[in-house]
Amino acid sequence: MIVSSAEFLTSAVRPDQYPHTGYPEVAFAGRSNVGKSSLINTLVNRRRLVKTSSTPGRTQLINFFAVNERLCLVDLPGYGYARVPAAVKRTWGPMIETYLKGRATLAAVVLIMDIRRIPGLEERNFIDWLALYQRTPVLVLTKADKLSKTKRINQQQAISAALDVARPELLLFSAKTRLGKATVWSAIAKAAFGERHDLK
Ligand code: GTP
Ligand code: MG
């Protein structure tokens, strides 16, 4: 996947603040600190296009990024998990739900999970909730560099059982080593543009 341009468009809380690009959009969801922003940076070959942090809850708004002037990547705040004040948290759920429910140009949702952790009710509820809107997320297991190759496969298997999905549907990824970058790109491009995998 050749990324010739990647730029920050805008941050939004409410629908009237979303950009009007008309590009298909791919949104990145997952627990706080799981590596959503790092994954986007890796995809677009930029170290700091999206701010990342070791402190959970770094991303607090819906951030829109344009790629090659034809695709929008959307960084969502950690879905309801962040260690942030309750008052802030109460506004996040509705903010993210409103976006995911109502955004006409949304082509795909990528659910990012830490490969070291067996997903719980939150992830299963999120997947079920998306299914209500006929959406099947692209599932990514990130931070794969933290485990040995054998342990990765074992975890992938355990997570596939926990989520009741086939093991190959769980894409292994690492922002550190860039493992899985091409695979994640092709899943995204397929969702956004059909079978055409070129983003040029
Ligand atoms: P919030 O915006 O707070 O919801 O977090 P986020 O999901 O956007 O996570 P972010 O990308 O900011 O990454 C959180 C921490 O995990 C940072 O310290 C990253 O450097 C680290 N990290 C992210 N991806 C990887 C990875 O693939 N491997 C390793 N080793 N560390 C990673
Ligand atoms: Mg973030």
Cα–Cα–Cα angle for 53, 187, 138, rounded to 5 degrees:
60
- For the beta sheet containing 25-30, the strands, ordered from the edge strand earlier in sequence to the opposite edge, are 6-12, 62-67, 71-75, 25-30, 106-114, 138-142, 170-172
Task: Work out which ligand 1 atom sits closest to the CA atom of 33.
Answer: 5
What's the whole-number mean pLDDT along residues 7-20?
93
Most confident listed range (11-20, 24-33, 74-83, 154-163)? 154-163
**Residue 168 above 70 pLDDT?**
yes
Mean pLDDT of 67-95: 75
Closest residue to atom 30 of ligand 1, CA basis: 143
Quote the pLDDT of residue 35.
Answer: 92
Say which residue, 130 or 140, is predicted with more confidence: 140
Residue 27: in which H helix or E strand, if any? strand 25-30
The residue nearest atom 14 of ligand 1, judged by CA position, is 33
Mean pLDDT of 15-39: 93
pTM of the complete model = 0.92
Residue 18 is encoded by which pair of tokens? 């979303």
- Give the whole-angstrom CA distance, residue 139 versus residue 159: 11
* Ligand 1 atom at minimum distance from 52 CA: 12
Please give the average per-residue pLDDT across 159-183, as a whole number: 97
Half-sphere exposure of 111 (CA within 13 A, CB side): 21
Label residue 166 by pLDDT band (50, 70, 90): very high
Q: In the prediction, which pLDDT does 17 show?
A: 95
pLDDT: is 55 or 83 the higher one? Answer: 55
Instruction: Over range 138-163, report the average pLDDT.
Output: 97
- For ligand 1, atom 24, the nearest C-alpha belongs to 35
Taking CB atoms and a 6 Å cutoff, what residues make up the pocket around ligand 1?
30, 32-38, 52-54, 56-59, 77-78, 142-143, 145-146, 174-176
Q: How confident is the model at residue 56 (pLDDT cuts 50, 70, 90)?
A: low
Q: How far, in Å, from the CA of 77 to the mean position of ligand 2? A: 6
Whose atoms come closest to the Cα of 79: which ligand?
Answer: 1
Q: Could you tell me which of 166, 159, 45, 75 has the C-alpha nearest to residue 113?
A: 159
pLDDT at residue number 187: 95
What are the CA-CA distances from residue 147 to residues 41, 50, 152, 154, 178 (Å)?
21, 25, 6, 10, 14
Dmax over CA atoms of the chain, in Å, equals 47
Per the prediction, the chain carries an average pLDDT of 88
